[in-house]
Amino acid sequence: MKLDDGLLLRIYIGEQDRYEDEPLDQWLVSAAHTHGISGATVLRGLQGFGADGRLHTARVIRLSTDLPLVIEMVDQPDKIESFLDTIDQALEQGLVTVEKVRMKFYRKAGD
């Protein structure tokens, strides 16, 4: 089994964040696709808080319309690093982390 070195990019934003009149998570996934990133996944959090200290939750008692989102992408270091320049224009607030990972891609024959 051959493992390649890669980078895991995580972008932490809120559900209500927007860029160019589009939900930011949708813009980021579309930009990643255009940039040739291998894949992207948007995860919706049940609750959390960010730098502003406000609690966001999906619990019925304190239902929030701005739940936390995490967008994850894994690819070769050069692709992730160049994509960071692309997202700089869109992020007004949030958090971005980059971690070294070992990765192995599985694909169907012919893909």
Whether residue 89 is predicted with pLDDT greater than 80 in this model: the reply is yes
* Domain presence at residue 52: yes
* Domain presence at residue 108: no
Distance CA 47, CA 24 (A): 19
- The answer to whether residues 17 and 111 touch, using CB atoms and an 8 Å cutoff, is no
The answer for residues whose C-beta is within 8 angstroms of residue 18's C-beta and 6 or more apart is 24
* Domain presence at residue 107: no
* Domain presence at residue 17: yes
Q: How large is the average pLDDT for residues 15-27?
A: 94
pLDDT in tens, 32-69: 999 999 999 999 877 776 666 666 665 555 555 678 89
* Domain presence at residue 111: no
Please state the domain count of the chain: 1
Q: How large is the average pLDDT for residues 24-36?
A: 97
- The answer to whether residues 43 and 69 touch, using CB atoms and an 8 Å cutoff, is yes
User: What residues make up the domain containing 19?
Assistant: 4-102
Predicted model pTM: 0.83
* Domain presence at residue 46: yes
- The answer to whether residues 101 and 8 touch, using CB atoms and an 8 Å cutoff, is yes
Domain CATH code at residue 44: 3.30.70.120
